């Protein structure tokens, strides 16, 4: 009790944020009685995280640490017979150390983990066969090499080569923070768990998985273990705006068949029904819009007929999970800034909500149970379980309870304002812990990226709204036109006019809060990352051109898109024609109207620019160009450049510096905390 009272004076801090444990990858035992998760804990002094596997009882027992030797034990998967838990890890010391992540197995009742693979090209995205004797996984390999030792030899030659040049003739030659130019592709491999014998399931074929963040949802194994279904891009020059197919390969004969031939859709993420008669998948209509929400469809394997199950105007996320009776499918989907678990029954076009967000980031289904990781704006991630129908939902661990006990968090409000064209727009408002509406407070916008994403009911570690509010700010998060979760019409409403609808929505949020009387109109700031960074640069130019100047006193631009033409140096240049409505060489005026750089002469507002040098989505030159432009123009500005970070700031000590610079900048130009009394 004394500890609780002592903590009640505490506010959320950067140090406390990095002490919170982060569970991921829940996997259920076949009887549904236990959940295994990967739990990551960070050490600020060591500047790194350590991930272990934990067993949680869904019936009320105490959590138990399953792995203790490794530092990076992740992606656990329980075998169908319940005898083993497979996971991916880098272990060992000296000459026995894993250079790349390998596949390990461990009995759930304890004991030493056993390494199954020793592949030079590594292991990820594991998935058991129903016989519990084999595991499918992804490994990035050179498709022209047939033997494992040849893969290892070439990998060593590449590492030892003094020439590190990147050579490519592909449009997509980089992705997020790594290059795709060495000729390796992601292929499904199969390993015998007992012997460790491994083979490439795609050997002798042209097939591979999508090269953009491939994972276990990109392929599935049939219940009888004879077939493998997977997502495939048939184009020679593979990009993210192309239609993909679902292909099925016979694992004994090596013959493959395109299951979606003739369908005018893009297809992905296959999942076999429990009886093997059907394959569920996600489809979208790229011919209508490249931003089309994914829908659920099912292929009847006997007839080959593809039937769309859902007509729901919301985006369905992978993976798809079949109910045990094969009569319904489970998935996560965004609706109104919350990410929940839904169930779609055969014959129905609209699903029912089974588990409500907050944000449900990952889930597993089995043994009549659901296990999932859930968080919301005011609660860090925790592992929950519920009956398969959603009843009896409850947390099954309390890893962060003591840390959060007594921490003062402000109120979170969900409001709707009239935005662009007078249309309703949702906005989160997060208040300081000691908020008093009789005082005048500074306002900070936290503008989300995407743009086709959303600010969800989410406890964010990189942009934590309560941490911002704890400094003495009212924080606003506007889900502007173009955000995910309100249907396709809203999602696509900013396409070909980037900036203008979103700007109107942010300003409507500001006007709404000023009218309520507790915001100081002379202390306004806006911050954002990625497309949110684009927005604050856009606002700097547009507001600066207004009569009377910019009402915002400070901006923070993290990894922001500053100049659309030079964004072609990034990893997604082919998207801009779709999203902007033109390429810069075909219609320069149309692109310039949506380009912050075109309005640089009007920029006057002090700006903090933050960027990671390893960011290939929004290349670091975007931040440097913006910063240099502001300096040449005499606008107060500051650059924080992280040589060892990508699009996100992921290292504890770098994050601490990021927050410190963010807070110092706002305090310098906006001030923190309330002014005295109303004016």
DSSP 62-112: PPEE---S-SB-EEEEE-TTSS-EEEEE----GGGS-SS-EEEEE-TT---
| Contact present, 151 and 120 (Cβ < 8 Å) | yes
Q: Is residue 657 part of a domain?
A: yes
pLDDT for 677 equals 46
Q: Is residue 595 part of a domain?
A: yes
Q: Is 167 exposed, middle or buried (0-12, 13-18, 19+ CB in 10 A)?
A: exposed
Output the six-digit token pair for 426: 């949702």
Residue found by looking up tokens 């670091």 in the block = 620
Task: Convert the pLDDT of each residue in 508-528 to its tens digit.
Answer: 999 999 999 999 999 999 999
pLDDT for 94 equals 86
Tallying the residues shown for the chain, one arrives at 679
Average pLDDT, the chain: 95
What is the C-alpha to C-alpha distance for residues 246 and 257, in angstroms, rounded to an integer? 9
Q: Which long-range contacts (CB under 8 A, 24 or more apart) does 451-454 make?
A: 451/480, 451/482, 451/483, 451/494, 451/498, 451/502, 451/531, 452/291, 452/482, 452/483, 452/484, 452/491, 453/483, 453/484, 453/531, 454/334, 454/337, 454/479, 454/483, 454/484, 454/485
- Nearby residues of 351 by Cβ (< 8 Å), 6 or more positions away: 310, 312, 331, 333, 342, 343, 344, 345
Q: Is residue 149 part of a domain?
A: no
Strand 441-447 to 474-479 pairing:
parallel
pLDDT for 3 equals 41
In terms of DSSP H, where are the helices of 483-642? 488-491, 500-515, 531-544, 576-580, 588-592, 620-632
Element spanning 655, H or E = helix 652-669
What is the C-alpha to C-alpha distance for residues 372 and 247, in angstroms, rounded to an integer? 30
Report residue 638's pLDDT band, with 50, 70 and 90 as the boundaries: very high
Q: Say if residue 2's pLDDT is above 50.
A: no
Q: Say if residue 260's pLDDT is above 70.
A: yes
Residue found by looking up tokens 């992804």 in the block = 138
Q: Is residue 659 part of a domain?
A: yes
- 156: cis peptide before it, omega within 30°? no
Strand 316-322 to 328-335 pairing:
antiparallel
- 84: cis peptide before it, omega within 30°? no
pLDDT for 482 equals 98
Q: Say if residue 357's pLDDT is above 80.
A: yes
pLDDT for 628 equals 98
Report residue 280's pLDDT band, with 50, 70 and 90 as the boundaries: very high
Q: Say if residue 541's pLDDT is above 50.
A: yes
Task: Convert the pLDDT of each residue in 222-237 to its tens digit.
Answer: 999 999 999 999 999 9
What is the C-alpha to C-alpha distance for residues 138 and 122, in angstroms, rounded to an integer? 8
Q: CA angle, 71 as apex, 65 and 73 as ends, to 5°?
A: 65
Q: Is residue 60 part of a domain?
A: no
Tell me the pTM.
Answer: 0.95
Task: Convert the pLDDT of each residue in 9-62 to its tens digit.
Answer: 699 999 999 999 999 999 999 999 999 999 999 999 999 999 999 999 999 889
Task: Convert the pLDDT of each residue in 28-43 to its tens digit.
Answer: 999 999 999 999 999 9
Domain count of the fold of the chain: 1
| Contact present, 342 and 330 (Cβ < 8 Å) | yes
Single out the residue of 97, 93, 85, 74 nearest to residue 23, CA to CA.
74
Give the count of beta carbons closer than 10 Å to the beta carbon of residue 202: 24
Helices (runs of H) and strands (runs of E) counted in the chain: 12, 38
Question: Range of 595's domain?
Answer: 410-669
Q: Say if residue 679's pLDDT is above 80.
A: no
Residue found by looking up tokens 């906005």 in the block = 427
DSSP per residue, 260-312:
TTT-SSEEEEEEE-TTSSEEEEEEE-TTT-TTPPPEEEEEETTT--EEE----
Q: Is residue 649 part of a domain?
A: yes
What is the C-alpha to C-alpha distance for residues 587 and 392, in angstroms, rounded to an integer? 57
The edge-to-edge listing of strands for the beta sheet with 34-43 is 22-28, 34-43, 48-57, 64-65
Give the count of beta carbons closer than 10 Å to the beta carbon of residue 472: 22
pLDDT for 68 equals 87
**Distances 379 to 63, 153, 359, 373, 405 between C-alpha atoms, Å:** 20, 48, 10, 12, 11
| Contact present, 422 and 505 (Cβ < 8 Å) | no
Residue found by looking up tokens 């991930």 in the block = 51
Task: Name the 3-class secondary structure at 3.
Answer: helix
What is the C-alpha to C-alpha distance for residues 172 and 573, in angstroms, rounded to an integer? 9
pLDDT for 9 equals 66
Task: Convert the pLDDT of each residue in 104-139 to its tens digit.
Answer: 999 999 888 999 999 999 999 999 999 999 999 999
Give 11's DSSP letter: B
Output the six-digit token pair for 645: 């970070």
Q: Is residue 576 part of a domain?
A: yes
What does the radius of gyration of the chain's CA atoms come to, in whole angstroms?
Answer: 26
Give the count of beta carbons closer than 10 Å to the beta carbon of residue 182: 15
What is the C-alpha to C-alpha distance for residues 208 and 191, in angstroms, rounded to an integer? 18
Task: Convert the pLDDT of each residue in 543-596 to its tens digit.
Answer: 999 988 899 999 999 999 999 999 999 999 999 999 999 999 999 999 999 999
Task: Convert the pLDDT of each residue in 378-428 to its tens digit.
Answer: 999 999 999 999 999 999 999 999 999 999 999 999 999 999 999 999 999
Q: What CATH number does residue 590 fall under?
A: 3.40.50.1820
Strand 519-529 to 554-558 pairing:
parallel
pLDDT for 111 equals 86
Q: Is residue 13 part of a domain?
A: no
């Amino acid at each position: 009790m004394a500890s609780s009272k002592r903590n009640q004076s505490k506010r959320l801090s950067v140090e406390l944020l990095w002490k919170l444990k982060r569970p991921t990858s829940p996997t259920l035992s076949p009887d549904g009685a236990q959940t295994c998760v990967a739990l990551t804990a960070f050490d600020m002094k060591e500047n790194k995280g350590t991930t272990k596997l934990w067993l949680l009882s869904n019936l009320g027992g105490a959590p138990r640490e399953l792995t203790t030797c490794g530092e990076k034990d992740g992606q656990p998967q329980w075998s169908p017979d319940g005898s083993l838990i497979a996971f991916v890890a880098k272990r060992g010391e000296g000459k026995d150390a894993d250079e790349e992540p390998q596949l390990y197995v461990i009995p759930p009742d304890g004991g030493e983990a056993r390494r199954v693979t020793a592949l030079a090209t590594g292991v990820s995205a594991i998935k058991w066969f129903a016989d519990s004797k084999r595991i499918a996984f992804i490994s990035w390999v050179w498709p022209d090499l047939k033997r494992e030792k040849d893969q290892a030899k070439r990998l060593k030659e590449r590492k030892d080569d003094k020439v590190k040049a990147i050579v490519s003739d592909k449009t997509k030659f980089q992705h997020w923070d790594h290059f795709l130019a060495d000729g390796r592709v992601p292929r499904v491999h199969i390993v015998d768990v007992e012997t460790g014998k491994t083979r490439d399931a795609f050997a002798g074929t042209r097939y591979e998985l999508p090269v953009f963040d491939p994972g276990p949802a990109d392929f599935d194994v049939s219940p009888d273990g004879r077939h493998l279904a997977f997502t495939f891009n048939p184009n020679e020059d593979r990009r993210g705006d192309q239609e993909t197919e679902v292909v099925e390969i016979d694992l004994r004969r090596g013959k493959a068949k395109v299951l979606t031939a003739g369908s005018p859709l893009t297809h992905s993420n296959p999942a076999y029904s429990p009886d093997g008669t059907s394959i569920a998948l996600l489809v979208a209509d790229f011919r209508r819009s490249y931003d089309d929400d994914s829908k659920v469809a099912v292929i009847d394997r006997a007839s080959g007929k593809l039937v769309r199950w859902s007509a729901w105007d919301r985006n369905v996320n992978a993976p798809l999970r079949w109910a045990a009776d094969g009569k319904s499918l489970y998935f996560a989907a965004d609706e109104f800034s919350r990410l929940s678990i839904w169930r779609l029954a055969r014959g129905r076009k609209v699903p029912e909500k089974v588990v409500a967000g907050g944000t449900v980031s990952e889930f597993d289904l089995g043994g009549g149970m659901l296990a999932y990781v859930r968080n919301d704006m005011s609660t860090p991630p925790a592992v929950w379980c519920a009956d398969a129908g959603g009843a009896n939902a409850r947390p099954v661990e309390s890893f962060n309870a003591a840390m959060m006990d007594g921490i003062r968090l402000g109120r979170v409000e969900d409001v709707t304002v009239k935005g662009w064209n007078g249309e309703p727009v949702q906005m989160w408002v997060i208040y300081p812990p000691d908020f008093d509406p009789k005082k005048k407070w500074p306002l900070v916008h936290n503008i989300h990226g995407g743009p086709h994403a959303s600010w969800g009911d989410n406890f964010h570690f990189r942009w934590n709204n309560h941490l911002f509010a704890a400094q003495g700010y009212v924080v606003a998060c506007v889900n502007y036109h173009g955000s995910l979760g309100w249907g396709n019409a809203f999602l696509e409403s900013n396409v070909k006019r980037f900036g203008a609808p979103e700007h109107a929505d942010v300003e409507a949020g500001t006007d709404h809060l000023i009218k309520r009387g507790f915001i100081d109109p002379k202390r306004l700031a806006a911050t954002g990352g990625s497309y949110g960074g684009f927005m604050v640069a856009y606002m700097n130019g547009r507001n600066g051109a207004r009569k009377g100047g910019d009402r915002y006193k400070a901006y923070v631009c993290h990894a922001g898109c500053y100049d659309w033409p030079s964004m072609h140096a990034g990893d997604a240049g082919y998207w801009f024609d779709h999203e902007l409505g033109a390429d810069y060489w075909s219609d320069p005026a149309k692109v310039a109207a949506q380009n912050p750089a075109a309005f640089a002469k009007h920029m006057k507002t002090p700006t903090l620019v933050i960027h990671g040098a390893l960011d290939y989505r929004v290349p670091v030159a975007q931040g440097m160009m913006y910063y240099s432009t502001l300096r040449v123009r005499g606008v107060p500005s500051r650059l924080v450049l992280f040589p060892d970070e990508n699009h996100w700031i992921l290292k504890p000590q770098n994050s601490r510096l990021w927050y410190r610079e963010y807070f110092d900048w706002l305090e310098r130009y906006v001030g923190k905390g309330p002014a005295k009394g109303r004016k």
